[in-house]
Amino acid sequence: MKKILVVIPARMASTRLPGKPLYPICGKPLIQWVYEGVSRASLIEDIIVATDDERIVEAVSSFGGKAVLTGAHHQTGTDRICEVVREYGKGYDIVVNVQGDEPLIRGESIDKVIRPVAAGKAPVATPVIRFERGEDNNPNTVKVVMDAEGYALYFSRFPVPYVRGEKPPFYKHVGLYVFEKDFLLEFSSWEQTPLEKSEMLEQLRILEKGYKIKTVEWKERLHGVDTPEDVKIVEGILKGARQ
Give the percent of the chain with pLDDT over 90: 80
Residue 238, phi then psi, degrees to nearest 5: -65, -40
What's the pLDDT tens digit per position in 34-84? Answer: 999 999 999 999 999 999 899 999 999 999 999 999 987 877 778 889 999
pLDDT at 14 over 80: no
**Within a 10 A sphere around the Cβ of 66, how many other Cβ atoms?**
13
CA distances from 82 to 139, 164, 194, 243 (A): 27, 42, 22, 41
C-alpha–C-alpha distance, residues 108 and 47, integer Å? 15
Short-list 149, 208, 202, CA closest to 179: 202
Domains of the chain, each with CATH number or no CATH:
4-125+174-225 (3.90.550.10)
C-alpha–C-alpha distance, residues 122 and 94, integer Å? 12
What's the pLDDT tens digit per position in 208-234? Answer: 999 999 999 999 878 889 889 999 999
pLDDT at 134 over 70: no
- Residue ranges of alpha helices (H) inside the chain are 30-39, 54-62, 77-88, 107-118, 181-189, 194-199, 203-208, 228-242
C-alpha–C-alpha distance, residues 148 and 46, integer Å? 34
Which is it for strands 176-180 and 46-51: parallel, antiparallel or unpaired?
unpaired
What's the pLDDT tens digit per position in 80-126? Answer: 899 999 999 999 999 999 999 999 999 999 999 999 999 999 999 99
Task: Give the pLDDT confidence score for residue 79 in this predicted structure.
Answer: 86
